[in-house]
Structure 1
Amino acid sequence: MAKEQTRTQVSRLPSTRESRPALIALAVVLIVGGALASGFLALQSGNRAFYVQVTSEVAQGAQITENDLGRVSLPEDFGSGIPADQVDDVVGQSATTRLLPGTVLTPEMVSDDVGIAAGQTQLTLSVDSSPFVQRLQPGAQLALNVGGGDAGRQAVAAELVSVGDASDGGLGSVSGNEIPIVVAIDLSCLNVVAQGIEDNAVTPALIGGDAGQRVPATCGS
């Protein structure tokens, strides 16, 4: 008789009425936990702010345009960045250093000054409006092949500051087959390159790596 009673107790399953409170308690825990998680995420998202970010490479000394800038969401305690609502104050300023895409701007990276590096000057060239020139990016290292004829040719190292548009009169009067570019060169090469511009005898070439070290950065003895 005792064995039969034990077998009956072991095989007995809880009724639906007995398991219902446990399911209700589990559901309450899940709902409360989900609400707390949602609230935490909402608080976290509320602790972020937008800052000015560079989207296009800008050479040192080049003027920053609206197209060079975007915005990025960062924790609001990221105190060194320039807030996105101050982007209008940045447009028109000059880069104090070379700016790469993805850089979060800080006040030290921009200046109201022209921003030309010490010992350098900037010149505007009118060159053939080729796909090569149109694809050049600010900061590109160039070799300017200057002169020709009996005087021979001279290579001068330069850094591209900006590429204009064939219809952009602000960088100089050019024909429909030419495009203006602004380059930075060493001040000692000013007379050489300026004479080449006057003679329409300046051709830019893109250089890189060790080849750039073989192009003279200065002119004269």
Structure 2
Amino acid sequence: MSFSSSNRPQAAGARAAKPSGTGRRLPGNRERRPALAALAVILILLGAAGSTLIALRSGDRQYFVAVKENLPPGHKVEDKDLTRGDLAGATGTLVLWSDRAALKDQYTTGWIYAGQFVSKKNFTNDPVPEGGALVGISVESGRAPAEAVEVGDVVRLVRIPAANQDGGQAAVIAPAARVTSTTGSLTDGKTGANTTVNVTVLIPDSRATTVAAAAAAKTLVLVKLADSVKPEISNDPGAR
């Protein structure tokens, strides 16, 4: 019986056939070192360029005026209201910190919020805009909200009939007035007794006589409105 050569067992000691093709040799440590050195140089150069750019930009930064706390419309500016912050790039008409003295005793034209940078349009020399009038009123307990009325609030002034007046009706004589100052409280903090609160409001000049007369007659009721309600007249040119 004969066997084909393909079925013959491999002779002892014979070497196995090598697979076709040659394997790729991994680079040694010596070959990797130049590449790592080049990468390190590139990273150093990029870091130096970044540091230079930061230094150049920081040289363009300036200090500008910002406010520490929220300031309501009509607020008279004091040194304690102001702080400084630094900015770079286009800063428009913002007030430089070195020019802050020019803002003292100015009046805010609208709300300015804590941390906000300011420009000259945020302030005015005159707390009374053209066509407006400031009127002081004194309100007793029961004729104003128990919640404190604060500067910047918008209130409605209602005239009610006097105690000895029969058949009279309540009437709105100032639908939306801005509170520019307030002193006192409706309740004494120590005794709990009812007191009065003095409020100054900004209203159109055409309403000043009526409001002043009602205030003198003590026939006014003050109604606090939502923050979203715009006053009839304001120092803020954009709100008129």
Q: RMSD between aligned alpha carbons?
A: 3.6
Give the corresponding residue for 1:219: none
Structure 2 CA distance, aligned partners of 1:107 and 1:65?
15
TM-score (norm 2): 0.64
Give the corresponding residue for 2:201: 183
Which SS does the other structure have where 1:11 is aligned? coil
Aligned-pair CA distance for 1:103: 5.7
Change (3 A) 1:28 1:69: same
Tell me the number of residue pairs that the alignment of Structure 1 and Structure 2 aligns: 197
Aligned-pair CA distance for 1:86: 2.5
| Residue 70 of structure 2 is aligned to residue 56 of structure 1 | yes
Pick aligned residue for 1:133 from 135, 144, 148: 148
Pick aligned residue for 2:110 from 94, 98, 123: 98
Which SS does the other structure have where 2:199 is aligned? strand
Contact 1:158 1:184 in 2 (8 A): no
Partner deviation per Cα, 1:40-77 (whole Å, 9 max, x = no partner):
12322332223223552532x55334565444433254
Structure 1 CA distance, aligned partners of 2:155 and 2:112?
18
Which SS does the other structure have where 2:70 is aligned? coil
Contact 1:157 1:185 in 2 (8 A): no
Structure 1 CA distance, aligned partners of 2:61 and 2:146?
41
Aligned-pair CA distance for 1:205: 1.1
Letter of the 1:116 partner, please give it: V
Structure 2 CA distance, aligned partners of 1:188 and 1:87?
36
Aligned runs of 1:89-168 on 2, under 5 Å? 89-95=102-108, 97-101=109-113, 104-112=117-125, 114-127=126-139, 128=141, 132-134=147-149, 136-138=150-152, 140-149=153-162, 150=165, 151-155=168-172, 156-166=174-184
Contact 1:141 1:157 in 2 (8 A): no
How many percent identity over aligned positions? 24
TM-score (norm 1): 0.69
| Residue 88 of structure 2 is aligned to residue 75 of structure 1 | yes
Partner deviation per Cα, 1:20-47 (whole Å, 9 max, x = no partner):
1211111121122122112212322332
